[in-house]
Structure formats: C-alpha cells, structure tokens
Amino acid sequence: MSKKILFAGAVLAVLAPVSAFAQGGAAAGATTGAVGGAIVGGPIGAAVGGVTGAIVGGLADQQQPQFRQYVVTQGVPSYRYQEEVRVGATLPASGVQYYEVPAQYGVSNYRYTVVNDTPVLVEPGTRRIVQVIR
C-alpha cells in the first residue's frame, strides 16, 4: 500500500509544475504543490509543496492585470507567431525580443515578450512560454 502512495506522490510531484503553469498563477501552483506534498510527506510535505508550487507558478492571478498594464505602457512590439499562443509553446530562436520582468513581480527567472498582442512569460533558456497573461 505504501508503495502505491509513494508512486502516486511521485507522479503528482512530477506533474505539479506542469499543472501550475496550465492553471496560470501562483495560487494554482501552491494548491497543486500542497496536494502533492501532502501525499508524499504529510502536513510538512504539504507546506513545502505549497511554497514550491507557488514559486513555479509565475505571476499570481491578482498581479496579472497590473503586469499587463505595465507591458502596455512599455510599448513592446508584438511578435507574429503562426502557432497557438499557449503555455508550453516554444518560441523561435531568432526574431523575438525578450525583456526583464521588474523585480516587484517576483519572477526574475523569467523574461517577458508580447506574442500576437498577448503578453507572455518565457523561460529564457528554452524560450518556452510558461504563462500567458490575460
């Protein structure tokens, strides 16, 4: 029985960052991380998982409108992308300009750009979209 619980916890731990990105935001990431952590490590695992999930989740839901307004005021040109603008899509190696996210948003490990008139957060090493800002 404990092997099944451990396996389920391992699966959730692996999938937590993906679901955090898909649901958009630190709140969703914190929830997913807490559930995965609780299965693996009980109450302490839930606390650690919740914090880790929030860090992975990108901008918090309440920060998105403010960040979107910030991007608009910067006048960043929009890159035309033929594919769907979605979490997990990888942007081309050339032709896209990436910008630093201001420290106040707490996601210094990501960059932002505008794709098809939509701000997105991107993991700079892979050019993968990690959050679409609506």
* Residue that finishes a domain, picked among 15, 33, 56: 56
- Per residue in 34-74, pLDDT (tens digit) is 555 556 666 665 555 544 444 456 999 999 999 999 999 99
Tell whether 52 and 67 lie within a shared domain.
no
Contact 119, 110 (CB under 8 A): no
Tell whether 45 and 75 lie within a shared domain.
no
Tell whether 84 and 121 lie within a shared domain.
yes
Residues of the domain holding 92: 61-132
pLDDT of residue 80: 97
What CA–CA distances, in Å, run from 99 to 18, 44, 52, 74, 112?
23, 37, 25, 10, 5
Tell whether 67 and 105 lie within a shared domain.
yes
The structural domain count of the chain equals 2
Assign 11 a pLDDT band (cuts: 50, 70, 90).
very low
Tell whether 85 and 116 lie within a shared domain.
yes
Tell whether 127 and 79 lie within a shared domain.
yes
Block residue for tokens 């190696």: 93
Block residue for tokens 């997913």: 32
Tell whether 84 and 100 lie within a shared domain.
yes
Tell whether 128 and 65 lie within a shared domain.
yes
Tell whether 87 and 128 lie within a shared domain.
yes
pLDDT of residue 76: 95
